[in-house]
Amino acid sequence: MAERPENRIFGKRAKQHVVIFASGDKIRHMTIRPWMAAVTFCFAGMFTVGYLAATSYLVLRDDLIGATMARQARMQHDYEDRISALRAQVDRVTSRQLLDQQVVEEKVEKLMQQQSALSARHGKLDALLSRAESSGVTEETPVIDGRRANAADAIDALMGSTGSVPQKTTQLAYAATSESVADRADRLFSKVTLSLKDLEHEQINRIQSLTAGASETADAIQTILRRTGFDVSRETVEMPATDSDLAIGGPFVEPDTFTDPFEESINDLDTALERLDSARRTARKLPFGNPSPQSSITSRFGNRTDPFLGRLALHAGIDFRARTGTEIHATGAGTVVVAGRNGGYGNMVEIDHGDGLTTRYAHLSRVLVKVGDHVDEADPVGFSGTTGRSTGPHLHYEVRRDGKAIDPMRFLTAGMKLTTYMD
């Protein structure tokens, strides 16, 4: 390529560069223009940038792939952790539901047992209350407070509190924001158990009140009987004989020291009622009645001037002013041992009340019983009169123990005091 000297003359156009290619006989040339140089430079720059970018990519590709894979692994691990946490949470909720159901069932079973125990106690208590009422020992039924004391209602409430099984999401929300069924059931169970205990305490208090009343009445009767010379001993129950002549045996076992307060109070009430019944039975057998309630007493027990002899003599009984034909009653239950004429007594009835105690009804105009008859208190035994050693119509009444005359006024006074305790 020949170089041409450039002659730069002001006002003239610069010469263009020509590139000549010679190949044998062929000669080619190409004029290089400025825009062609610019395009060539641009392509060269683009190629250089592309080359550098490709080289950088190849160099950094492994790092980018590793970072991407690590990021994906972290995302997968986080996802698996989230799934595991949700699965564990679901398992906890399911386990809690099963545990809640078991707890509720156990509490329902306990309530059923308490209800059965209360029902059994109610049966025993009804029998004793009827017996106490028939014995005249009464006590107003206490009013229990407004807390529910029926285990059946509590069981319905416990079973109703479980409800239907919610969805998984509802379970999770419920576990996060609300108390569990077992907690509500436990609170309700505690409330009902407290009410049942209150009912049990009310029953025990009522039984103890009845026991105290029966004991006080029995003590009062026994005190009156002791003042008349009699005492009421606790009756023992004899076991019937058998063919084996009551052969018993077995290994020695220490006695059971456990005592149920309710059973203990029931036993105390039963013992108190038995004491009361025993005291009343004894009192009914003794002559505490009045042989002629409408008649006044004209002569008392003790020494007095004999109306026939005019000298001091023992009056072995008391005299009632009674017109002839007045009905005379037995003062206590017993068996007639004398019925008819008996010396100075005239027509007389003598009744054996047991324990060596007898009563005599003398000067009767007519006898209504015969020897061997059993009479109860207030049964008629005859009519008053003036037979035997008598100055006029009246009833001569005696009380004797082991054949010895004692003052009948002790029994008449005791009978008036016993009236309030014998209903």
pLDDT at 221 over 60: yes
pLDDT at 147 over 50: no
pTM of the model: 0.55
- Under CATH, which architecture does the 297-421 domain have? Distorted Sandwich (2.70)
Cα–Cα dist 209/198, whole Å: 16
Name the strand (E) or helix (H) holding 306. Answer: none
Query: Is 167's pLDDT higher than 50?
Result: no
**SS3 label, residue 329:** strand
Decide: 295 and 412 in contact? Cβ < 8 Å.
no
* Distance separating the N- and C-terminal Cα atoms of the chain: 160
Residues near 408 by beta carbon (within 8 Å), at least 6 away in sequence: 287, 301, 317, 318, 359, 397, 398, 399
- The answer to whether residue 140 scores a pLDDT higher than 80 is no
User: Is the pLDDT reported for residue 169 higher than 80?
Assistant: no
Question: Residue 183: its pLDDT value, please?
Answer: 66
Domain ranges of the chain: 114-225, 297-421
> How many whole angstroms separate alpha carbon 205 and alpha carbon 200?
9
Q: What does the pLDDT look like over 181-198, one tens digit per residue? A: 556 666 777 777 777 777
Average pLDDT over residues 255-279: 78
* Banded pLDDT at 348 (limits 50, 70, 90): very high
Q: Which of 120, 123, 134 is nearest to 214 (CA)?
A: 134
Q: What local confidence, expressed as pLDDT, does residue 29 receive?
A: 72
| Average pLDDT value over all residues in the chain | 77
Our CA angle for 306, 310, 312, nearest 5°, is: 55
Rounded mean pLDDT of 166-183? 48
Sorting pLDDT into bands at 50, 70 and 90, what band is 93? Answer: confident
207 vs 368 pLDDT, higher one: 368
